[in-house]
Amino acid sequence: MGMLEIQKLSKIYNGKVSTRALNNIDLTIEQGEFVGIMGASGSGKTTLLNMVSTIDTPSSGKILINNQNPHQMKKNQLAQFRRRQLGFVFQDFNLLDTLTIAENIVLPLTLEKKSLKEMDEKLKAVAEKLGIVEILNKRTYEVSGGQRQRAAIARATIHSPVLLLADEPTGALDSKSSRNVMEMMEKINQTDGTTMMLVTHDPLAASYCHRVVFIKDGELYNEIHRGQNRQEFFQEIIDMLSFLGGNAHELSAVRV
Amino acid sequence: MSFRQFAFHNIRRNTSAYIAYFSSSSFAVMTLFTYLLFIHHPDIAKAPLGKMASVGMEIASYITFIFSFLFVLYSISAFLRVRLKEFGILTILGAQRKQLNWLIFLENMIIGTISVATGILGGLIFAKLFLLFGENVLELKNLPMYVPVKAIWITVAAFMALFFIMSSMTSFFVRQSKALEMLQGSSKPKKEPKASIWLALLSVITLSSSVYVIQRELNEISILYALLLDLIGLYFFFTQLSVVIIRLLKKNRRIYWHGINLLWISELAYKVKDNARMFFMITMVTTVACTSAGIVLALKQQAETMYKENPFAFTVYSEDQKQPVFTEKIEQTLKSEGIEYKKFPIRAMLFSLKGLKDQNLNMVRQSEYKEMARSLSLPIISLQDYETLLIQPTVSKKQLPADLTQLTFANEKLPQLMIKKQFKKTLIESVPLAVVNDHTYDQMTKTYKNKIGQDYYYFIPSWNHDKVSTSNSTELKISTELENWDRSINHQIGGFILSRGFQYQTTQQGTNVVIFIGLFIVAIFSVFIASFLYFKLFSDLQQDKRYYHGLSKIGLSLKEMKRTATNQIALLFYIPIFFAGIQTMVGISILGDVYDTGTLTVGLTAIGIFVAIQTVYFFIVRARYLAQLKNVMV
Ligand SMILES: Nc1ncnc2c1ncn2[C@@H]1O[C@H](COP(=O)(O)OP(=O)(O)OP(=O)(O)O)[C@@H](O)[C@H]1O
Ligand SMILES: [Mg+2]
């Protein structure tokens, strides 16, 4: 039994024209696995992530996270499930301007009304791991994008979630910061054994994963596993993307 | 499509954004119009409300106009701020500064014209209701509806001018660069509010010295000083001290880092600082309104007690008893109406007492008192020389101590008087009365420098009941007749008639006018406050939606969102009222000492009513706001 079980998942958006965004997806992510989701624009990546992160509900099919089905929960229960079991990293960081970095990071714990001592310990540990101790008392607009994303990762992991979900975490970052952020994610995956699911356009980011799953027109198309070498894996991803009809020629291998 | 067409279409398309602006402008027009319609009513102009009332109404119309002006000004800027993004798009599409200004000008003139029209129409619909209300509060005969040409004329002129001026000043409201910034999302997040410790300290000092000044001495000048200090203190309280307090609160992580506190307390500093000036204004106006309400209602109550407690319907004060013209007039009038009366001649001497500041008493002859006492069934005791029967009025707050055994006079040549017995009853004005035997009275007279006037008190048994008389009672009719007669001859002869009924009625009418105007001002003001807050909230709505959407994703529940948002809205609504409440209590408990009856309760009732109105608005605004935010919760 995997940490995340997706069974026959479909999503249809009903509008003037109904769109079948996801069709019959089956996917299992094991405990401690780091999985990337890739695909062309409009292929259904965000939709899939939203289903898993319980932000949106599936039209049919089932999702089990740690053997629980969040889509059967009530709304308030669901919010609690999200902040206890899941961690989120977003492209736009989603940090609050009115809070300092430290306050942003401990926010999930304060909502759980944890003790000050516990919060301080966890904050210290996670800040050291992510190398953001110096900026803890700064505000979000006083630090760089990379630092902001690391703070967001700290917030997403401070409560030791069973599953970390990331939607384009490097989308707003330059390549150096991207690399740095991905290294942090890799480190957390290795040291804490946190299961991770990452949606990205960026082959560099995807190359840090153990496995990359490709979606085409709402269906699982293919998946490739990483061997020993990240450089090789990166090349494989680019090849796969160009095969899928992406725009691989725009991506240069120089970034690796 | 011409630019003018574009302006028209713009309004049609963006209906919801315009509705708030339009309805508030229209409301402002309606308020002023209704008010003007009332004060220019032909019957009101003729009504005997006195000079004070007409001046009061005049002032109130200026206040109403200033409020309306501020209100429209605020609406316009809130409205334009909401639409900044649209202006950004137009700028990018190549609209020139001039075109943009022309667009905004046209839009505002269109909305302004329509809201003047609908405001007047709405005012006409409500006019009858309002006239009925005024009729009742002011106790006037029924006010028929009329064609309010003058009111329409003034309203149209005032508001069209207002809209024209404001529409022409749009460049003041919209900075194109800002619009672009907004569109490109490059507007920086707001910096953390800063405050100066020194100014915060100044606030504490001025506020406390304000209380000190007014407590030490109470007169016009000290009240003025206290008010000035209070204004300064309150201003810095909202702009500086509040920020300092919140910062201290944040230092206490046990509270701050607990549940949703982290969310709303962090927002609080921004919200208070952003709205400091509005809070300041609301607090001041509310305080003044509630304090005056307290005092005015206390005056009204006092007049009522005075009327009820005073046993004499008429009093004649004359310096010379050889001028019987006043008594003759009263008696003749009463006889012709077939009303029985008793007349008591009294010659009272006024003395000041030693050691008690501002404390006087009237001394009367026992023989004169006996007459009165028999009719009013008051105790009669025998008095030796230099013994006295002390009668303290019930209506005055200045009471002599109950355990007083003798009276010592400020004039040291006068002998002391032993108090043989004392009781409470209002007889001659609100001054204590000392009854002495005729010999003592004559002895005291020798040293008395003032001329002793001859007064007559008229007791009319059929008029003495516990109810206050209505405006068509016999007492009031006769009182009015006598007072009018008195005024016509007053200046030639040394003396005058005082009638309790007429005095009562005059105070009642005076206070009624003040209360009516006050109610009107408080009513519009509270609607304006609510709308200010509404605009404030909804102009930040987009930002708040993003805020809560983000939080919702990481697991903020609907319940927690509601609580956080409720706290934020409640603070906006209740912070100023809270401080107005404190100020009113301080103000009334100090000023209220001057008056006799329950000023504080009345002031608190005024605040209570205000809180109740605001609470209704609070729930409406909250419901609408939460409904919007609920949509973004995932
Ligand atoms: N709320 C919605 N309502 C209707 N259709 C939607 C909605 N969200 C997404 N879609 C449609 O579903 C399909 C999948 O969208 P999705 O956002 O999952 O793509 P994506 O793979 O994340 O694309 P991108 O790489 O551009 O972010 C698209 O065709 C999109 O138009
Ligand atoms: Mg997407």
CB contact under 8 A, A98 and B267: yes
Q: Which of B336, B337, B344 is nearest to B313 (CA)?
A: B344
Share of chain A above pLDDT 90, in %: 75
CA distance B235 to B203: 8
CA distance B389 to B101: 83
What is the structure's pLDDT at B105? 85
Cα–Cα distances in Å, from B71 out to B153, B209, B243, B619?
Answer: 21, 33, 27, 22
Task: Write out the two tokens for B606.
Answer: 């005024």
Q: Give tens-digit pLDDT for A200-240.
A: 999 999 999 999 999 999 999 999 999 889 999 999 999 99
The amino acid at residue B53 is A
The count of other CB atoms within 10 Å of the CB of residue A116 is 14
CA distance A109 to A115: 9
Q: How many domains does chain A have?
A: 1
CB B518 within 8 A of CB B299: no
Nearest CA in chain B to A86: B554
Share of chain B above pLDDT 70, in %: 87
pLDDT above 50 (res B446): yes
ipTM value for the complex: 0.89
User: Residue B434's beta-bridge partner residues?
Assistant: B363, B390
- Average predicted confidence (pLDDT) for chain B: 81
Which residue, judged by its Cα, is nearest atom 13 of ligand 1? A21
A199 CA: distance to closest CA in chain B (Å): 16
CA A171 from chain center: how many Å? 12
Q: Quick one: chain B helix, strand, coil %, rounded to 5?
A: 70, 10, 25
Task: Write out the two tokens for B437.
Answer: 């035997």
- Non-local CB neighbours of A79 within 8 Å, separated by 6+ positions: B552, B555, B556, B557, B558, B560
Q: Where are the domains of chain B?
A: 1-187, 189-261, 312-501
CATH number of the domain residue A75 falls in: 3.40.50.300
CA distance B25 to B70: 11
DSSP letters for B407-430? E-BSSTTSPPEEEEEEEE---STT
Chain A and chain B share a number of CB contacts under 8 A equal to: 78
- For a ligand 1 pocket test, name from A14, A20, A46 the mutation site with the most ligand atoms within 8 angstroms of its C-beta: A46
* Confidence bin at B537 (pLDDT 50/70/90): confident
Q: Domain range holding A122?
A: 4-255
CB contact under 8 A, B554 and A82: yes
Distance B365 CA to ligand 1 centre (A): 103
B634 touches A: beta carbon within 8 Å? yes
Ligand in nearest proximity to the CA of A38: 1
Q: Give tens-digit pLDDT for B9-21.
A: 766 766 766 777 8
CB B506 within 8 A of CB B304: no
Which residue, judged by its Cα, is nearest atom 25 of ligand 1? A41
If you search the block for the tokens 């609209």, which residue do you land on? B95
The predicted model gives B230-237 an average pLDDT of 92
The pTM of the full predicted model, rounded to 2 decimals, is 0.76
Per-position b or e across B170-195, b if 16+ CB within 10 A of its CB: beebbebeebbebbeeeeeeeeebeb
CB B341 within 8 A of CB B331: yes
Q: Give tens-digit pLDDT for B554-610.
A: 889 999 999 999 998 998 889 888 988 888 888 777 766 655 555 667 777 778 888
Cα–Cα distances in Å, from B556 out to A128, B1, B2, B632?
Answer: 26, 48, 49, 12
Q: Give tens-digit pLDDT for B258-274.
A: 999 999 999 888 888 88
Q: Quick one: chain A helix, strand, coil %, rounded to 5?
A: 45, 25, 35
The amino acid at residue B299 is L
Distance A15 CA to ligand 1 centre (A): 13
CA distance B289 to B550: 43
DSSP letters for A89-124? E-TT----TTSBHHHHHHHHHHHTT--HHHHHHHHH
The two most distant CA atoms of chain B are separated, in Å, by: 106
DSSP letters for A199-241? E-S-HHHHTTSSEEEEEETTEEEEEEE--S-HHHHHHHHHHHH
CB contact under 8 A, A76 and B557: yes
DSSP letters for A72-92? GS-HHHHHHHHHHHEEEE-TT
The predicted model gives A116-123 an average pLDDT of 95
